[in-house]
Amino acid sequence: MNKPRLWTKNFIGISIANFLVFITFYYLLVTLPIYALQDLNGNAVEAGLITTTFLIAAIFSRPFAGKWIEKVGKFPILMSALLILCLASALYFLPHSMTAMLILRFCHGIGFGMATTAIGAIVADLIPESRKGEGMGYYGLTINLGMVIGPFLGLTIMQQLGTNVMFTINAICAVLAILAGLFIRLPKNKKTPKMSVEPKPSGGIKGLFEISAIPISLVAAFFGLVYSSIISFVSIYAKEIGLVEAASYFFIVYAVVLLLSRPFTGKWFDQYGANVIIYPSILCFAIGTYLLSVSSSAPMFLLSAALIGLGWGTAFPSLQTIAIQLAPPKKRALATATYLSIFDFGFGVGSLIFGMVVTGIGHSALYFYSTFLVLIGLGVYYFLHGKKDLRLKNKVQQDQVAS
């Protein structure tokens, strides 16, 4: 029996759009704080607010984007979001004060939240049910590659060509994301018999979140606490321990390991269920974090990058796949919004808390204690989802037979 196609024109198009969206996110994530300090005469707190403001806007917009998708459809919301991203990217030349920059970052964050919600919902619909884990793994890979290429590209261009060229290339990437989106043709929804009694849509706060996705989203947010410390401080830590040259290769090793492992981990998720992937991934994440805390040489530092990439890089899209599988088909956009919003909240809280903690205990101790936090995450996953995974696997198999 032939497998349904995964690499369709639509899947490739939405993956390229997602890659470009995340390139611009990470591109500005590492360069704008430097720009704020050097060109806008901001202080360290204001530089930190550039990221925090962006994430708050993304978290705020995602639940609404999920509801809007249910009402008007995925493609209109996607293109609206990409237009907001493009417009915001074109305006970075203008702010000459921190206040203006923060307003622009908030607007940009709204577009980012809407775009990632719409893209996640579209991807979930395009991937065949029998290849959901594999497809979501490749989708997650576009995020990871954006995380690697974005900072490298941003810092290199900023240092060698200046901020005007940096902002120009950022705007070009946003335009290319729109072009990739225009080539996407979503399949029409199959008509289903009308029910005698139509269920009333939920309103208020409950209508902005998919309840079934909340437990697994809390798991992702818990690990996001630790992941935020790696994204935020690993370069500073490398300089502290005399491994500046190795620091530039940290996320490259991270990405290479993901590229090599992705064809296997996604298929294993589909064949054997989430637990077979999640538990080993968490252990790899913990070992990688521990090795990072005791790194004294480049090989050990880069080995930690490989294990963190294999661990968290595999766990993140797997957890998102679970959130989507738990939700009814019509609620997948809302489930995606719920997952990303709660994860971003955990990531943002982690950046704030660990930023304060690291000044007192140092980076090495921070990563050492973070290892235990990751191991505690094994229990968090088990109680919030792991013990129910067998039932979910049976549900997915029944859905595949029914379809």
Structure confidence by residue, pLDDT tens digits, 247-306: 778 878 887 887 788 777 877 887 888 888 999 999 999 999 999 999 989 999 999 999
Of the candidates 380, 394, 335, 398, the one whose C-alpha atom is nearest the C-alpha of residue 123 is 335
pLDDT at 390: 57
Chain segment 209-264, per-residue pLDDT in tens: 788 889 999 999 999 888 888 877 787 788 788 887 787 788 788 878 877 887 77
Dist CA 60 CA 77 (whole Å):
16
Residue 165's H or E segment, with its range, is: helix 163-182
Sign of torsion over alpha carbons 284, 292, 373, 134: negative
Largest Cα separation within the chain, whole Å, is 69
CA distances from 255 to 12, 16, 280, 400 (A): 19, 16, 18, 32
